[in-house]
Amino acid sequence: MMLPDVQNLIELQQADREILRLKEEIAALPKRVAAIEEKLAGTKAILENAKSAVKADEAARRRYETAIQDLQQKISKYRDQSLDVKTNDQYKALLHEIQFAEQDIRANEDKILELMVNAEVREKNVKAAEAELKAEMAEIEKEKADARQRTAEDEKQLAEWNGKRDKMRTGVDADLLRQYDRVAKYRGTGLSEVRDHKCMACQVMLRPQTYNEVRSGTQVVVCDSCQRILYYDSSHDAPVEAATVPRRRRAHPKFESSHAWYYRPSYSAFGEVFLAFINDHGQSSRRVYDTSTGRKIGDTLVREGEYRLGFPEDLTDDAIRLNGSWPETELDEWGAELPMVVLDVLQRDLDLARAEAGARHRRETEPVPSEHPAAS
């Protein structure tokens, strides 16, 4: 049961969400392109650095070569002078100068050699940066083309959704629409689903009366805490409960727990049953259900003390403890019959518990291998 106005609001909310998503996507695309362009600028800078390193090396090499030429001219000048010297000391001094100049030439030649070795690495750096840049340029062109195409598609969809949205709004009661818009403006959404007795948007538990009003779907109900318009979708409750059942490893029921479910293979004349115990303020209650039909057997029994003390005769050796903790209010709502989904949950947990017990039994009864196989 759901009011047509609320049903329309759910559709309107979906449209509003889609519109928001499209707007965000349209806004995000240029940012993505900008991020790639920034990366591109970084690669360009690396290439420029690599190129200027090569240029700097070339300039240094020319300087060393000029220095060598200058030194060679000096040496030939000293040689000319040495022909005209008068004393042995003057001759020695010139020889000394020539030796110095030759040493300098060798030092410059070493530096040129070093640059030649470096040049290979520098050349590689330039080539790598050029290749990177080329790849990034191609990528950015593709990204830009994609972004343009996506934006065009998004804008087309956005226009369609805006049209649908305007039409939807005319189908909702004006007061309700105002409430929806007002809350949506401050909280982002104006509508909230109710699940497990909670407003899913603000996570606050509803009062039982409010919850029942929402479930019945006969009037518009607003969350006391967040003011969102509430709705209940019965198709959503089942998978949530089913999902709490562990698929492979079974969760073990807690010993100390206010709720306890059991399975008994035989319960007087009734055969297989599920038993639900709930402790509440020093008392405990018991409900018994048929495992195949889910039908309740007998009335709810209440006794003094928590259930282990109150119902010792039910906790037989062959009773199997199961997972399950539905609130008592829910049990009351189920009335004379367990819902199919609950029955499924219990049956699956029972299967897992039995499989586990079987595995444990096999481990314990496996023959222990002989310690001395050679002796046998």
The contact set with Zn ion (CB under 5 A) reads: 199, 202, 223, 225-226
Which among 183, 50, 73 has a CA at the least distance from the CA of 120? 50
Between CA 374 and CA 206 the distance in angstroms is 72
Please identify, using beta-carbon distances, which residue of 227 and 325 lies nearer to Zn ion.
Answer: 227
Nearest approach, Cβ of 183 to Zn ion (angstroms)? 9
Nearest approach, Cβ of 9 to Zn ion (angstroms)? 15
Please identify, using beta-carbon distances, which residue of 200 and 341 lies nearer to Zn ion.
Answer: 200
279: left (phi over 0), alpha (psi -120 to 50) or beta: beta
Which among 7, 133, 121 has a CA at the least distance from the CA of 54? 121
Please identify, using beta-carbon distances, which residue of 115 and 222 lies nearer to Zn ion.
Answer: 222
Nearest approach, Cβ of 6 to Zn ion (angstroms)? 15
Contact 288, 273 (CB under 8 A): yes
DSSP 221-277: -B-TTT-PEEEE-HHHHHHHHHHTS-SSSPPPPPSS-SEEEEEES--GGG-SEEEEE
Nearest approach, Cβ of 335 to Zn ion (angstroms)? 28
Contact 241, 341 (CB under 8 A): yes
Please identify, using beta-carbon distances, which residue of 60 and 200 lies nearer to Zn ion.
Answer: 200
Q: In a 3-state reduction of DSSP, which class is residue 305?
A: coil
Please identify, using beta-carbon distances, which residue of 226 and 343 lies nearer to Zn ion.
Answer: 226
Nearest approach, Cβ of 264 to Zn ion (angstroms)? 41
